[in-house]
Amino acid sequence: MTNVQKKEILQLIEDEKTRLGSYRAVAKKCSISEAAISQLRGGTYLAEGDDVYLKIALALDYSFDNSGWNIATETTDFRIITEVLSDAKNESMFIGVSDNAGCGKTAPSDIYLNWHKKEAVFKINCKEWGARKFLEKIAVEVGATIPKGYGYSTEFIETITDTIKGMADKKPLLIIDQANSLKPAATCMIIHLFNELEGMTGLVALGTENLEHQIKKGVRLNKTGFDEVDSRFGRKYIKTVGATLADTRKICAVNGITDDTLQKEVFKACEPIERILSDGSKILVIKDKRRLKRVIQRERLNHN
């Protein structure tokens, strides 16, 4: 690990202290001692190797990405996602975003998190978690005290909501990415978070089309909790538009492809589909931005 990376990780500690309120909370989140945090900050940490820096980096989501890929922040979908996050934060709303894999939800939310981390914005990336693991991950992220012993869901809800209520003046926002991966019992925990934090915090659940599908199916089958979850999200789920030719040009440009003709060829190579907008007009868009990224990377390799 380079000295520059270590310096950036030490800055992450300071940023997280501002967000969580104390170095003790930061140490707890990183699963290291408060003394170790103090020694690192003072330059007196004596243990050899980079293990402690790596542990902190992983806990605080330090990016080791050196792929050279740049995100275009002026595109249609980037604006949609960041506006949703801002609305949820400013108005303390619970909002669901449910659209196809690769449509471009995660990157804008990560950038928004970095822009507003000191303003009580938190993010977790879900896996196939049950209710307890889901709540445990949220508790760690917001710096809440983990209940001793096994810990019941109600105890986790209390410690999470008490911690978030203490940040109410900052209008906290919790971003739940890959929410479609959660098990049904975990999804239903959103009900209790809403009930305790309504009007005090925002929550945005990002997921594939399955997020909306699973919730709506649960409502149709009268599964416990799903009608309430659907209600908390306003029974409506935000969709992205896709990358238009203009958006594709911007993405190409920030990643080194500036020739107009080549940018258009990249757009065509991704086999854009027709999209009908709310006003009835039709446009061609690329829905899978992972494919767009691969085509751009291929073209960069071909022209190097």
Where are the domains positioned within the chain? 3-59, 76-238, 245-302
Place of tokens 């981390």: 117
What are the residue ranges in the chain where pLDDT is below 50?
none
pLDDT at 249: 97
Angle, in degrees to the nearest 10, between helices 23-30 and 131-142: 140
pLDDT at 259: 95
pLDDT at 283: 95
- Taking alpha carbons only, the member of 294, 295, 298, 276 closest to residue 285 is 276
Q: What is the CATH T-level fold of the domain 76-238, as seen in this structure?
A: Rossmann fold (3.40.50)
pLDDT in tens, 6-62: 898 999 999 889 888 889 989 988 989 999 999 999 988 887 777 898 999 988 888
Residues 6 or more apart whose Cβ sits within 8 Å of residue 275: 241, 242, 282, 283, 284, 285
pLDDT at 151: 62
pLDDT at 18: 87
pLDDT at 106: 95
Neighbours of 119 (CB within 10 A): 14
pLDDT in tens, 233-248: 999 999 999 999 999 9
Distance between CA atoms of 249 and 260, rounded to whole angstroms? 8
pLDDT at 96: 98
pLDDT at 147: 83
